[in-house]
Structure formats: structure tokens, C-alpha cells
Amino acid sequence: MALTSKQANDLHQAIFEYLSSQPSLIEVSVKLKEAIDKGVPENDGVTTNLEKKWVSVVRLQKKVMDLQAKIKDIENEKHLMLKHPSSKGGDPSFVLKTTATHRLVGHRGPITCVTFHPIYNLVASGSEDACIKLYDFETGEYEETLKGHTNSVQDVCFNMEGSLLASCSSDITIKLWDFSSSGSYRCIKTLAGHDHNVSGVAFLKGSKQLISCSRDKLLKVWDVDSGYCIKTLAGHSEWVRKVAVDLETNTVASCSSDHSIIIWDVHGAETVCRLQGHEHVVECLAFSSSAADKVLGTGGKKSGGLHIVSGSRDKTIKIWNISSVRCVVTLTGHESWVRGVAFQP
């Protein structure tokens, strides 16, 4: 292959430096320098043996640099492992890489969401195959398939007691599943009222109310017992992607394709504040815990929910202070969309 202009210049410079270092070849090096300054004529696409070897050298040099970078990463990881051992007495806040305990299979389409049961050793997953599957995460065994939605399941969540599972779907419905008695897992209510894809659900404190968000740009609050919509929250100008609830303060937050996050007063159906800073669709968000608030500098003066973490299609993660309505940290490093975020408990 023919050399690029840069590669040709590098090769000429290397030859010149070599000739200049040889006393018997200094005159040759001077003539070469004159030719380089005038511009070396094209070789009509003919690749010489020297050019081929030079390209090979450049490629090998790049591989060496890549390997050196990997060695450095491994050494840094080893240093962290020695500094924060995972054995008893080590720093419990440090999470090491580990291998999968189980591989849970069964869905016929991409998995869109997962959630753990708050009491039992169950994990529920939703998929584009319109099904919800239950697994025992301690044994890795498949338990049950919940069928009822007619399109992709977008989100699933349990209430605090673990007696109900809520799911929402592209079929424009929300379903409530009975988990009060082990093994029943039946759909007891279907909530209809949104006009487009329902993309997120979350139980409010006390588990008597459920909040949902949708591509119709709205959030809706539902009475769990009756199944009726009791409030509609409007504020976003585009698809509302996810909704999160801080169960300590019952604060609600939502994120949207309009690049913003809104903190809501659910009782008054009003916006408390709007957090703006992302440059693309905000895909996900999560509230902090009391422990996280202490780390982030609030001193734990107020319980939970003082900070929100958000992920976006702009490839960044942002941590927001709700009280001051500002972004306190921006984390970069991802090479594509950020689709899920969570605070370590």
C-alpha cells in the first residue's frame, strides 16, 4: 500500500537522520534534504519494499503502545485491589469486578428492565417479547412467566411490601400483578389512560398510589385500590422517559427527551424546579440515599433524596443538588448513550 503524506514525511526524515549520523554519507544526506524541501515526486502508485516495511513498523509501534496502555490499566487495577481488598476487614464501599453467579435465560426478545423483589429471592425482568419472567436469583432457576401485555414491556417495579408488581408497556397500559401469596402472580388490574407508550412506573410512599410517565409527555398518578387516575402532571414538552420516587421524602422526579429533569410536588400537581444541563435526551435517573448525601457533602442534615443522578444520550452522567438546583458533578467516559444509573446503597 502507498504511504500517506505523513508516513512518507516521517520515512524521509528517518532516512535523513540516519544518513546525517554517518560521516561518510553526509553529502548524500544534504542532497536528500534538498530533494525533500523541493518535494519528492509521486511514485505512480508503485510501493517499494522499504515503504512496505515502514508501514509494518508503524503498525507494530501502534500495537506496542496499545499493549503498554493495557499493562498500565492492569497495574492500576492491581493497585486498587491491594489498596481495597475484598476480604473481611476491607473497604466495603469498593466494588471489584466479578463473574456472573447465574445466567438467566428464556426471553425471546431484548430485555428492557429488571427489578429485585424487596423480600423474596426473586428477580423480575421485562422484555420486548411482551412477557415478564421471574427467576430465583439464588439458584438461578426460572420460576414463572407473566403474560398479559401485547407489546414491549418498558418498566417493572415492586411496592415496598412486595405484594404488588407494576408493569408498563408500549401497548399503552399499566398492569398490577398480585404477589401477596406466593405462586399466584395474577394480573388484578389494568390501568388505561395514557395516549402513547408508557415508559416508566414507580410506587409512591405507602404503596397506595402509583405514578407513571409516557411518550404522551404526561405523568399520571393512579389510585392502586380503584385503578383510577387521580392526577395528571404536565410540564415536559417531549417524551417523558423515566420517573423516580424518593420513598423517604415522597419526592418525584422525571426525565425527558426535552433534555430536562423536573422535580414535582405531586400533591399540588406542580413543578418544584427544573434541572437543565444535558445536551440530549435524558434516559434515566435515580435518587440518592442518606448515606450518599453525606458523601456528597450535605452532612446528612436531611434524610435522603437531596441529590439525583441522571444519564443521557449526550454520553454523560450528572449528579444534581436539588436544594441548590445545580449540577455538582459531571462524569464522562462512556462512548454511547447512558441507559441506566443507580447510587450504591
pLDDT tens track for 15-57: 778 777 878 777 777 777 777 776 655 555 556 777 777 777 8
Fold for 239-345, please state it: Methylamine Dehydrogenase; Chain H (2.130.10)
User: Could you tell me the three cell numbers for 71?
Assistant: 499493562
Higher pLDDT, 231 or 14: 231
Mean predicted confidence (pLDDT) in 206-233 = 96
Give, in words, the CATH class of 98-234. Answer: mainly beta
| pTM attached to this predicted model | 0.69
Average pLDDT score, the chain: 86
| Residue 148 banded pLDDT, cuts 50, 70, 90 | very high
Mean predicted confidence (pLDDT) in 256-261 = 97
Mean predicted confidence (pLDDT) in 60-85 = 78
Please give the share of the chain, as a percent, with pLDDT higher than 70.
Answer: 88
Residues ≥6 apart with Cβ < 8 Å to 134: 122, 123, 124, 142, 143, 144, 145, 146, 185
Residue corresponding to grid cell 486498587: 80
Q: Is the pLDDT assigned to residue 119 strictly greater than 60?
A: yes
Q: Is 136 exposed, middle or buried (0-12, 13-18, 19+ CB in 10 A)?
A: middle
| Residue 299 banded pLDDT, cuts 50, 70, 90 | very low
pLDDT in tens, 46-65: 567 777 777 778 788 888 88
Work out the number of other CB atoms within 10 angstroms of the CB of residue 258: 20
Q: Which segment of 109-118, 184-193, 199-208, 304-313 scores lowest on mean pLDDT?
A: 304-313
Q: Assign 97 to helix, strand or coil.
A: coil
| Residue 88 banded pLDDT, cuts 50, 70, 90 | very low
Which residues of the chain form CATH 2.130.10.10?
98-234, 239-345
CA angle 180, 187, 341 (to 5 degrees): 80
Q: Is the pLDDT assigned to residue 300 strictly greater than 70?
A: no
Q: Which of 64-68, 77-81, 108-112 has the highest mean pLDDT?
A: 108-112
Residues ≥6 apart with Cβ < 8 Å to 180: 163, 164
- pLDDT at residue 298 in the model: 54
